[in-house]
Structure 1
Amino acid sequence: MPPAPTHCFTYGSLMCEDIMGAVCAARAPFVAATLDGYRRGPVIGQEYPGMQPAPGCRVEGVLYLDLPDAAWARIDHFEGDEYTREQVTVRTADGRSLAAWTYVFKPEFASRLGPGEWDFQRFLATGKARFTAQFMGFDESTRP
């Protein structure tokens, strides 16, 4: 049985290196990557997206490489009850296929996903500041 992946495919707010670094309490190298067979949609009333399986669709994101073990409990906590961590295979811009963990929106919350594609550029321009103000207190909530 191969070892569990140490890479994390992100497709929303965690594509921002500063947000991912704050959530993980660590920095990791990253590359652009795509995940086939999934759709990323906006979560209604929120700045972040959810992702669910969708044949024929593709999600572009960021693959963080070799995250430390301590990062995973922090990311699990940050993602919360709406997501489940699942193992996937992503393709990097240079053509490599790598095993990674990603966070998939749970089917029971599917009604919270809006139509269309979540727009990362719009998030950077108008949503990141609101998201950061709302969620970056997360770091303090994880301390013992």
Structure 2
Amino acid sequence: MHIFTYGSLMFPEIWQRVVRGNYRSATATLPGFARYALADDTYPGMVAQAEASVEGVLYYDVAPQDLAALDAFEGNEYRRETVNVVIESGETTIACTYIFLAEQRLSGLPWEPQAFQMSRFIGTYCSDKLGG
């Protein structure tokens, strides 16, 4: 199964702490969704929003055991859903992504990948993970 990531998992430093396999990846866009900063945390939430789109990273052919690890990492604030993403060539492909459910925590401000606080995130959410 292909996985579209749009927040912390776009960064190899985080992705490799969650999954065990090595996966091919590509830049991709998900139309019909928007990514927002959370009011009280470093990672984003993504929700359906017409006329919006989200840039992210598509990982190809993720193994079932790594999919289970991703589900556990995302927790109960996210739901895995099937979506259509557009890769760099313009081709559309089916993938899964994690939709944010706790919309009341969204700040209403866009989440910017270049402002991601990697070390804070790793210290908070990945310190017990050895990586794969």
TM-score, normalisation: structure 2: 0.94
Change (3 A) 1:94 1:138: farther
Measure how far apart 1:52 and its partner are: 0.3
Taking only aligned residues, the RMSD between alpha carbons, in angstroms, comes to 1.1
User: Cα deviation per residue 1:69-117 (whole Å; 9 max; x = unaligned)?
Assistant: 11111000000010000000000011111100000011xx111001121
Residues 5-44 of structure 1 correspond to what in structure 2 (within 5 A)?
Answer: 6-44=1-39
Determine which structure has the larger strand proportion and give its number: 2
CA distance in 1, matches of 2:104, 2:64: 33
**Percent of matched pairs sharing the same residue:** 38
User: Cα deviation per residue 1:4-43 (whole Å; 9 max; x = unaligned)?
Assistant: xx10000000000121121012221100000000010011
Residues 1-144 of structure 1 correspond to what in structure 2 (within 5 A)?
Answer: 6-106=1-101, 109-123=102-116, 127-137=117-127, 139=129
**Unmatched segments (≥5 aa) in structure 2:** none
CA distance in 1, matches of 2:19, 2:42: 20
TM-score, normalisation: structure 1: 0.87
> RCO greater where, 1 or 2, for CA within 8 Å and sep 6 or more?
2
CA distance in 2, matches of 1:69, 1:84: 16
**Unmatched segments (≥5 aa) in structure 1:** 1-5
Determine which structure has the larger helix proportion and give its number: 1
CA distance in 2, matches of 1:10, 1:135: 17
Measure how far apart 1:138 and its partner are: 5.0
Change (3 A) 1:132 1:55: same
